[in-house]
Amino acid sequence: MKNTPFTAKHIALGAKMAEFAGFNMPISYSGINTEHATVRNNAGVFDVSHMGEFIVKGENALELIQRVTTNDASKLTAGKAQYSCLPNNEGGIVDDLLVYCLEENKSYMLVVNAGNIEKDWNWISKFNVNAAEMHDISAKTCLLAIQGPNATKILQSLTDADILNLKYYTFVRANFAGIGNVLISATGYTGAGGVEIYFEDKEGAADKIWDAIFEAGATRGIQPIGLGARDTLRLEMGFCLYGNDIDDATSPLEAGLGWITKFTKDFTNKAYFEKQKIKGVTKKLVGFEMLERGIARHDHIIKDFDGSIIGRVTSGTQSPSLAKAIGMGYVDNYFASIDSVIYISIRNTLLKAKIVKMPFV
């Protein structure tokens, strides 16, 4: 397993560690429910340095990004980011990602999922026929997500940049905790507010920044948070997890990601998705809450009243915020309406659930 620059700190803090995407990562410290509540109500720090980062630059950089992603990156100006995905040739998704515009039309950073770094690099490279300059900076890039309603208030003293008023999906480069050229982004995977910070671990930068964050938040209840709470937080917001809710066999239109699929430009397999939009999808990703005691899990079968299979669960958990079991899954269109009753097959028992609007909180 690979380590991040913060692995020793996680272990010293007593984190429960486990393998995730080839990395030794903290799953929880004090417990998922406690950590979840900390982020929803205050502020918490996630080590997500396992994520992948690519730099794409040069005069053909935008052309390449436009070709391989569904969203319209030409709308980005310096200091703005967007959510997007990489479509494949079979009507599915190679990965979802963030696109950061470092310099308009010239330089971009793509942030991809940890388990897909090599896959995504190879896929994008295949379309790089006009030789845009590409660099995989994943191994040397640290990424901390400081999330929660009080996150920026705690961090503001560590930087001269006005992060209290940083707009959603924008970013700045600034000094942070005495370290220069830190990218501070108003993005995250929790729906609780806060920022993500990217920096290179040179001259002990990782230790300095980690320690400074916890010193600044020492009297304000900031806590380290594991990947367990990251998953419950994102699920409450209805955010997709690659490999669960979206994958090589699911369309962005089926997943409710039509808003990042822009047909005003050309991109990989555009014609297929245009036909799908016109014809309509046969299944949709929906949110549901359990009406009977039980927790739906990935790949549980979804059935109708008569016991016919109508879909499958992609994600499920006991929501710490709502104190009820929730989940996401694909169901046939006929059953995708809000308040439709469905049945989840859990240990050979059909448990009642209903379709609800997302986000859950």
Q: What percent of the chain has pLDDT over 90?
A: 100
- Read off the tokens for 75: 């709308």
Q: Give the pLDDT of residue 156.
A: 98
Select from 290, 310, 246, 312 the least CA-distant residue to 83.
246
Instruction: Check residue 81 and give its pLDDT.
Output: 98
d(CA 227, CA 161): 28
Q: For residue 356, what pLDDT band results from cuts at 50, 70 and 90?
A: very high
Alpha carbon distance 70, 65 (integer Å): 9
Query: Where are the chain's structural domains?
Result: 282-356
pTM for the full model?
A: 0.97
Residues 13-40: what's their mean pLDDT? 98
282-356 is classed CATH 3.30.70.270: no
The predicted pLDDT at position 354 comes to 98
Digit-coded pLDDT (tens) for 189-228: 999 999 999 999 999 999 999 999 999 999 999 999 999 9
- Whether the upstream peptide bond of residue 359 has omega within 30° of 0, thus cis, is yes
Alpha-carbon span 26 to 19, nearest angstrom: 9
> Whole-number mean pLDDT of the chain?
98
Give the whole-angstrom CA distance, residue 107 versus residue 60.
Answer: 10
Neighbours of 76 (CB within 10 A): 21
Q: What is the mean pLDDT of residues 226-247?
A: 98
Q: Say if residues 80 and 101 touch (Cβ distance below 8 Å).
A: yes
Q: Give the C-alpha separation, 251 to 39, whole Å.
A: 31
| CB atoms near residue 34 (< 10 Å) | 14
Other C-beta atoms closer than 10 Å to the C-beta of 224 total: 23
- Across 327-342, average pLDDT: 98
Predicted local confidence at residue 231, as pLDDT: 98
Which residue type is seen at 185?
S
Split at pLDDT 50, 70, 90, the class of 131 is very high
Q: Tell me, what's the pLDDT at 173?
A: 98
